[in-house]
Every structure is written in C-alpha cells, then in structure tokens.
Structure 1
C-alpha cells in the first residue's frame, strides 16, 4: 500500500498497446481506485521489479515481458495479472498461477471479432468476391465474370468446425443464422454439449470427409501441431474450402501448399507458420487462397473491450468482488 492507503497498480503496456486497448475513460476508472505506475520507454528497457514494487495488480498486454519466477519473487505484493491482449502461455510460470497469483485474460472478448472475420472469409471465398473485384479492375467482361464465378451459398454448405473453443462456438452461433449444416470435432466436447450447440459431433477424419468448408479453432499444442497433415488434407473433398484464423502451426505447410498449388482445394488464411510473411513467400503467390495479416482478432471495438474488461477486473479485485475472467491454473498452458 502507498502512504495514503491506496492500492498500487502497474500498467505494463507499451505506448502503442496502451493507445490501442485503453480509453481515457478506462484510465480514469483505474486512477480512481489506485495509484497507477505506467511503464515508459520500450519494454526491453523496463525494470520490472521496480515497476511492480508494492503493486497488488498489473495490467499487461502485447509486448509485455515475461513475469518470470525471479520477477515474481522480487514482487511479493503482486497478486493479480490482468492480461488485456495476447497469449498468457508464456507470460507467467504455470506453477505460480493459483495460490500465488491470479491471472485474468480478455481473450474471450475477441471471439466475436474472429468469428465475424471467419464468416466473412467463408462468404468472400464461396461467392468468389475477390475474383469479381480483380476481374472488373482488370477489364474482364461483365457477363463472363457472372458466368465463370457464380458462387455458392454458405447456408447450403456443410461446415466442419475443428475445436469448440470460445471462438469456435462464436462461429457456430453465426453459422446457425445462415442455416448451414454444422459438424464439430473436439475431443473435449460431450455429446450433450454438442446437442446444446445444435451441431453433430464427429471424429476429425469423418468431419474432413463430409465438410465442404472446414474452419480451425483449436489451440496450438504439441499434440495439435500439424493436426492437418498430408493424409488429413487428402480426406477433404475436391473443391472444399479451408479457413484458418487460429494458428499456422495447425496445418502442415508443405502439404497445404501442395494441395493449393494443385488447385484441388481453396483456402482463406489469416495465420501462417512464420509471421510476418517475407516478401517472396510462396503464400503470397497462391492464386486460390485469400490471405490476410493475422488480423482476425484486431478491431478497434474488440481492443477497447479487452482493455475495459481488464480495468474492470482490477477494480473488482481491489474491491474484493468476484472476478469474471480468472484463468484456472490448469488452463494456462492450453489457452492461446
């Protein structure tokens, strides 16, 4: 506690991240309940023990350095880490979460943003909007474009959702409005939960065989790396669409490039095995894939929701009220 008995909170956000996730109103709310110490300069110059000295809570996000065991040992007053944006997997030691430290994460707040882009990707690809746009700009005949690229209805498709995560479930909710047939593969989803979501639960192979559109929403773990390899991709129907807004490592890159270059399937890809893509990347040259720069979760609205939610979480913590976004210790290594 500081001399006037107000709690101390450290804001461990770079200038760019702070501008992205914190509104003036959110900063005022935080300042009304605590003395706020703001990190300045670039994250690689921060003295974390000094910034966290006496702090009960800290606000973190993209670019925040790891709060390792040495830092935590030097800052015994720290009890809450409220993570506004980015992965928590490498932010704090897993063994510290629980009795020693409460970690909250705002990732649930980007599910709507990701889900909207996923459905947009599906619609754009199925209706071949990119072909129409490129054709008109390059002088193609109006009637020829309509004949050559008639498009398909999302509502008439069978869509396979791999991973019933927060984002996966947000995608399912949007797909239901279109009337699509929805299949799900997730080893942690029970048949009762699948019924409640209005989906058919299958193993991965059967989902790949039956789906006309496959969208990935699984975490990247050792057991899910290259979840879709050459064998799995061959199970997909000719002309099927693969959507990946989750992690590039879920799909074996050479196998996917081979399928796309052969023209057997199409894809919309927001994530890649290595990011950012170099200028000469093969992914930039594949004509039957729509690509974007890992932007699914990035909207002004979702960023501000994330920051606002974590400020509210800090306020609740200081007032000893129940938290809404606390991460169970067992989930630290499996959450994105």
Structure 2
C-alpha cells in the first residue's frame, strides 16, 4: 500500500516514531520518500495518485477538496496525535476516507499529570514548598496540616472525556469521593466510572479539587466563570489541562489574587490576566506539558503502527474518528 507522512516540521516524524517503529512501517507500507508538510508538496510526491494512506501529525496540511483531488486513491488517514479538527474537512468524509487518531494514547500522560497534581495538591505540597522557599519554619503537622491529605477528599471532574474518564478510573485507587459533571453522561455511566453525577454548581461547591477536561466547543467557552470560581471552597484547587478558553481567565485572575483558591494551569491565554496569574504564588503554570512529550511521543507512534498493522491485515481501525460526534469532541 502506497503511503506518505503528512506533518510539519518534517523533523517531527523522528520525534514521534522510534527507529524501530519507522523500520516496521517501511516493511508494511510503500512509503513515499518525501513528506507532505505543505499543500504544494503534493506535486513533489512521487506517484501521489497512488497514495492510499496518510500518516498525519501536528502541522498536517488541511485536507481540503483541492488537495484531495491530487490524492484520488486515498482511503485512510492515521493521525499520530489527538484532535483531527485542524485538518479534516467535509470533503474528506464525503470521499469515504477512514480516519483514526491517537486521542486515547495522548490521554494517558494528561491523566497521569492530572492525578499527580491532585495528589500533591491535597497533600498541601505546593503550599509547603512555597513556605520552604521563603525560609519559614516547618509546620507542626499535628496542628497546621489538620486538613491535608487525600483520605476522604472530594475531587470533581468536569467532563467525562477520554482524559476525564481515565482520570476517574485512575483515582479509583485512592480513598476519595469522586464527582463528575457532563451533559452526555447519565447516573449509571457516572457510577461505572466510580463517580457521582452532579450539576456543575454542586461540583464546584463541594470539591476540594476541580479538574477540567471538557472539550473546547462553543457551549464550553467560559464554562468555569466568575460564579463557579467564587463558589469554590476556600483552599480548593482548580486544575486545567484542557483548553484555556473553557475558564474565564480574567475572572480566575481576580479570584486567585485573593488567595482563596490555588490553580494549576497547563496553558494560559496571552495577555495581562495570563501574566498576572503566572506571577501569583498560589498558581502553578506549565507550558502545555501534560500532553505527550519526549519519550511519551513514542506511545503515539506505537498506536499508529498498530493501526497500520490492522489496515495491512484487513482488520477495522481500532480508534476510528466518527464525523457525527467530532463537533462535540476535543
């Protein structure tokens, strides 16, 4: 089967795929010697009219009607990252091209990051580290840390997405009370994840940690606003590894500045409120670190390789993208 890589920059291929994974892909596929990093590259792809499979990644050119006209044999798009929204088009679905993504694989490090932050936040690790940096004496753990620890704490998960659901399953190993809010979930579905389904206002009011995993769609923009932030318990922690726009960042800057809550943010919108949050002692900001980085990228490569093996063996895709639900997913 004739295939090609489509991602940018070209060096990304060797970050996502190990040498062994690339060798096996070369055995399974007739790989084009050039990559599709720009729509104009299709004219430089030898036998582009025979390409049946694209292995895409971050920076993939938009697969619109004009580009697809140059790829008339295309049957499969196997994406080596999460969301395919930046490059898929109606023209792709109209041609019956089958698409898969590594949303599930990329959810793993995000969930791991989230669970680690929840455990550390409930243990008051971040506050204790700040005290140590200021040279303050060690606390009396029998009196000053009476509410610290994870036993019996309440964790609220906003969005039973791939990441949100995995976070709930991972947290089942801890002695926590788990809450979840998601308009697509019923009580039985929440119970299967070990959680209680509650409205958003109840979740933010009752949780010691609120962690956001909702998709970025018009209905979720500003989902966590001034009312929700003000309703959080004093000393509670807000974690966001989803998209910055789901939280009203200006409102968060105002509430966090009072010291009532702490926040752990894996991404920020640029601007004054973002700069203000990054300077606050009770806010931890990481540079979109939760998703796959470094060695974790090879998990994405392994997932692509598995899909290619399935295609080569005539099996259905393991993680197909459904165009009917894409609009309400990440």
What TM-score comes out, normalization by structure 1 length? 0.89
- Partner of 1:71 in structure 2? 67
Match for residue 289 of structure 2 among 284, 289, 295: 295
Q: Which residue of 2 aligns with 1:258?
A: 254
Contact 1:160 1:183 in 2 (8 A): yes
Counterpart selection for 2:16 from 21, 32, 37 = 21
Matched, 1:315 2:306: no
> How far apart, CA to CA, are the structure 2 residues paired with 1:235 and 1:143?
28
Q: Distance in 2 between matches of 1:207 and 1:91?
A: 35
Greater shift after overlay, 51-60 or 129-138? 129-138
Q: 1:227 aligns with which of 207, 215, 223?
A: 223
**C-alpha displacement of 1:228:** 0.9
Name the CA distance, whole Å, in 2 between partners of 1:139 and 1:209.
Answer: 34
C-alpha separation between the residues in 2 aligned to 1:56 and 1:300? 30
Does the residue aligned with 1:161 lie in a helix, a strand or coil? strand
Indicate yes or no: 2:66 matched with 1:90: no
* Distance in 2, Cα, partners of 1:98 & 1:332: 15
How many aligned positions are there?
A: 327
2:105 paired with 1:117? no
Q: RMSD of aligned C-alpha atoms?
A: 2.5
- Matches of 1:143 and 1:187, distance apart in 2: 42
Q: Partners of 2:53 and 2:195 in 1: how far apart?
A: 41
Shift of 1:232: 1.9
Which residue of 265, 276, 283 corresponds with 2:277? 283
CA distance change for structure 1 residues 71 and 40 in 2, over 3 Å: closer, same or farther?
closer
Instruction: Give the one of 294, 300, 307 matched to 1:306.
Output: 300
Q: Deviations over 1:265-315 (max 9, x none)?
A: 1111112234xx89x822221111111111111244431111121122123
Structure 2 residue ranges without an equivalent (≥5): none
Q: How many angstroms does 1:45 deviate by?
A: 7.9
Q: How far did residue 163 of structure 1 move? A: 0.5
Question: SS at the partner of 2:260?
Answer: coil
Moved more, 214-223 or 62-71: 62-71
Out of 46, 55, 64, which is 1:59 matched to? 55
1:44 deviates by 4.7
Give the C-alpha shift of residue 75 in structure 1: 1.1
Q: Distance in 2 between matches of 1:252 and 1:285?
A: 18
CA contact (8 A) 1:39 1:46 kept: no
Which SS does the other structure have where 2:23 is aligned?
helix
Question: Any idea what the Cα deviations from partners look like across 1:107-155, whole Å, max 9, x if unmatched?
Answer: 1002221111111112233333334444445543345799766772123
Aligned ranges 1:231-246 → 2 under 5 Å: 231-246=227-242
Q: Show the counterpart of 2:160.
A: 164
**Retained in 2: the 8 A contact 1:165–1:218?**
yes
Match of 1:189 in 2: 185
TM-score of the aligned structures, taking structure 2 as reference length: 0.90
Q: How far apart are the structure 2 equivalents of 1:268 and 1:119?
A: 12
Residues 1:87 and 1:262: Cα distance change in structure 2 (over 3 Å):
same
Report the 3-state secondary structure (helix = DSSP H, G, I; strand = E; otherwise coil) of the residue aligned with 1:268. Answer: strand
Alpha-carbon contact 1:125-1:268 (below 8 Å) kept: no
Aligned equivalent of 1:155, options 146, 151, 156: 151
Q: Indicate conservation of the 8 Å contact 2:156/2:179, yes or no.
A: yes
Name the residue aligned to 2:211.
Answer: 215
Q: CA separation in 1, counterparts of 2:24 and 2:58? A: 21
Structure 1 runs of 4+ aligned residues shifted over 4 Å read: 143-151
